[in-house]
Amino acid sequence: MNEDLKKKAAELRQALHRHNYLYYVLDEPEVSDAEYDRLMQELIALEAAYPELVEPDSPTQRVGALPLKKFETVRHTIPMLSLENAFDEEKVLAFDQRVMRFLKTDLPLLYTAEPKMDGVAVELVYENGRLVEASTRGDGYTGELITQNIRTIKTVPLILLHTASVTVPSRLEVRGEVFIPIEAFKQLNKQRLDKSESPFANPRNAAAGSLRQLDSRITAKRPLDIFCYGVGVVTGLEFTSHWKILQTLKALGFRVNPDIKPRASIEEVLVYYRDLVGRRHEFPYELDGVVIKVDDLGLQRRLGEKSRSPRWALAHKFPATQETTVMLKIDVQVGRTGALTPVAHLEPVSVGGVTVSRATLHNEDEIKKKDIRVGDAVLIQRAGDVIPEVVKVIITRRTGAEQIFQMPSVCPVCGSKVVRLQGEAVRRCVNANCPAQVKERIKHFASKGAFDIDGLGDKLVSQLVDEGLSKSYADIFTLDKATIAGLERMGEKSAQNLVDAITKSKQVTVARFIYALGIRHVGEHIAHVLARRFKTLRALMSATVDDLMGIDEIGPQVSESVVAFIDNRENQRNIERMLKAGVTFETEEAPITEPLAGKTFVLTGALDSMTRSQAKRRIEALGGKVSSSVSRRTTYVVAGKDPGSKLGKAKEVGVRVLDEKEFIGLMIYD
């Protein structure tokens, strides 16, 4: 093995670990996404050419292990205890008194106060700086071995950071909470509903379900994250305080919640708690309380533990986010794509400090599954700014007067026919000009990730559609000040502000434009994938299902939806009108170097160093295309062992044939 290549691979791995940490853990990237992608592609290509260079801790190896048959169990060296709960301030003060009595002191104690994540507790084990094992908390004594799933979480270091300030311990057991951020949870549930899969009840269940996958490729697609908050066995490092442990974890590359604070007395802890309760719904993840810990490890040792929980810690829980109430009626809303969504109207109830009077019921199958009837007493749940939902019916409170709900067979807004297509969980209104759909499409079009038109809110959109001033989003760009000012409750000044905001929004990236179109199954991420691949809107407008299917991350559902959209005359006209009205494209981030751009490959026979689908992914990652049949437009045919008839065809039409070595050489050096 060439020493230079070994060195190059090690340098790339080290650089990628560092950039991964800067990007995911600190949220302070030093290089552009394009530069990160370039380094990653370079390492992928190098490892493909020289598989002996692949190391288990390589940043390319987060996913890859084969699916498991079942999870092994593992014993925690030190049990993972649970926490005693307190639901009011008296209980917290009593805890402080108990601790002081036990320690025979009347001096105020130093505590750390930590946001309590509502996630899944895990333990990560590092030996000589490498992640070797990860497990769930289980019953506190033994948990399930989920190493390959934990490895897929980008904020989990595979290798500990080497810094001057901390020596890497020979063994380090780290404890933390895996969670799914609220926004990502909403997206995940939306995708599941689109695919007729049951939505997860809350982000914690989604995180738990994702960690319980036997196939880590599924886990890798879930937006998991982690905050670390403690240690088990540590060999080779001594600590005197919990605060110091947290600082050390940070220095070793772990994600530690930045809102953890030392507090000089229990009164200060209570101030911290009140502040957090007030802000709990501003956090991008779910919190269910504050964990209070005696900071001094010597005092922690003296306090010891009871059977299941330590005497030195307490969970001060937030008020419940679940409440019972009565369902008064069920309304049906019509969304952007015509989907009919049943919405529960509830007897107003305060849930975690906010009055709730509506909850989503998702779709008719969910109503059937949960047997929800109008008039039922129901348990509802509110999570962050997610729309509250009905968890279950309180069957014991049924009187017999409850009404079974029927989904309407015509659109409740425009009266058109509704259909439920095979494989779909929702009924849809078939009228693309249904005012409800038009309003939702315009709202989406003007939203933050799309054209981001300041001031074009729900009420105004409703007025514009109801007054017949906007029949589609393309009409937004032809609105003038006088028309807007003529609307009810609209002054000259707000009309001018809106005109300015519309003008400003006309400079847009291709990705935002694609997202704004509201094509089914095309969220922000897929819009970026499409923009990256096609570069211009014009190129996307002439894409075929085959072109789209050839893109990594894009399957038949998205491909068909995009093609159906771009083939529609009305959509084509709307796009042309927007371009005519002055919408122009900003250039996005610097394009990544794509050495195989413009080249089309056909693969035949078996390759030694990678599977056919790996080869396809590598080619696409470097900008090339893979086609299934040889034609004059094919640039190269790659022939592995036992090639098929495509080799003969290549010779017949005069296409250059590459063997495996030449192919790999091309990926690295071309």
Which residues are near ligand 5U1 by CB under 6 A? Answer: 81-83, 114, 116, 121, 229-230, 291, 293, 310, 313
Residues in the chain: 670
Cα 445 vs. chain centroid, distance in angstroms? 22
| Shortest Å, Cβ 495 to ligand 5U1 | 50
Backbone angles phi, psi at 436, to 5 degrees: -65, -45
CA dist 385 → 251, 281, 325, 448 (Å) = 33, 7, 19, 16
Query: Measured between alpha carbons, how far is 251 from 245 in angstroms, rounded to an integer?
Result: 10
Helix%, strand%, coil% for the chain, nearest 5: 40, 25, 40
C-beta separation of 99 from 303 below 8 A: yes
Alpha-carbon distance of 322 to 299, in angstroms, equals 37
Nearest approach in angstroms of CB 350 to ligand 5U1 is: 27
- Cα 661 from Cα 669, distance rounded (Å): 12
Taking the complex as a whole, the smallest distance from the CB of residue 638 to ligand 5U1 amounts, in Å, to 52
Q: Could you tell me where the DSSP H helices lie in 371-431?
A: none
Q: In this complex, which beta carbon is closest to ligand 5U1, that of residue 103 or of residue 349? A: 103
Comparing CA positions, the residue from 536, 508, 533, 592 lying closest to residue 32 is 592
**Host H or E run for residue 462:** helix 458-466
Rg (CA), the chain: 29
Query: What is the C-alpha to C-alpha distance for residues 540 and 259, in angstroms, rounded to an integer?
Result: 44
Q: Which is nearer to ligand 5U1, 30 or 305 (CB)?
A: 305
CB of 82 to ligand 5U1, least distance (A): 6
Q: How far apart are CA 387 and CA 361, in angstroms?
A: 10
Q: For 476-501, give the DSSP string.
A: GGG--HHHHHTSTT--HHHHHHHHHH
Query: In angstroms, what is the minimal distance from the CB of 391 to ligand 5U1?
Result: 24
Provide the minimum distance between the beta carbon of 83 and ligand 5U1 in the complex, in angstroms, as a whole number: 5
Query: How many Cα atoms are found within 13 Å in the side-chain-facing hemisphere of 531?
Result: 24
636-639 vs 656-658, strand pairing mode: parallel
Nearest-CA neighbor of 290 among 350, 246, 229? 229
Shortest Å distance, C-beta 305 to ligand 5U1: 8
How many whole angstroms separate alpha carbon 203 and alpha carbon 183?
A: 10
Buried b (16+ CB within 10 A) or exposed e, 571-599: beebbebbbeeebebeebeeebebebeeb
* CB 230 to ligand 5U1: min, Å: 5
H/E element holding 126?
Answer: strand 120-127
Per-residue DSSP letters for 307-341? SSSBTTEEEEEPPPSEEEEEEEEEEEEE-TTSBEE
CB 39 within 8 A of CB 63: no
Lookup: tokens for 368? 């059937």
Shortest distance in whole angstroms from residue 412 CB to ligand 5U1: 46
- Cβ atoms of 179 and 119 within 8 Å: the answer is yes
Tell me the closest approach of the beta carbon of residue 256 to ligand 5U1, in angstroms: 10
CB of 115 to ligand 5U1, least distance (A): 7
In one letter, which amino acid is 187? Answer: Q
Copy the structure tokens of residue 159: 């290798």
CA torsion sign for 235, 236, 239, 243 is negative
Catalytically annotated residue among 91, 104, 116, 306:
116
With CA atoms as reference, report the closest residue to 253 among 485, 52, 17: 17
116 noted as active-site residue: yes
CA distance 558 to 523: 10
- Residues recognised as catalytic: 116
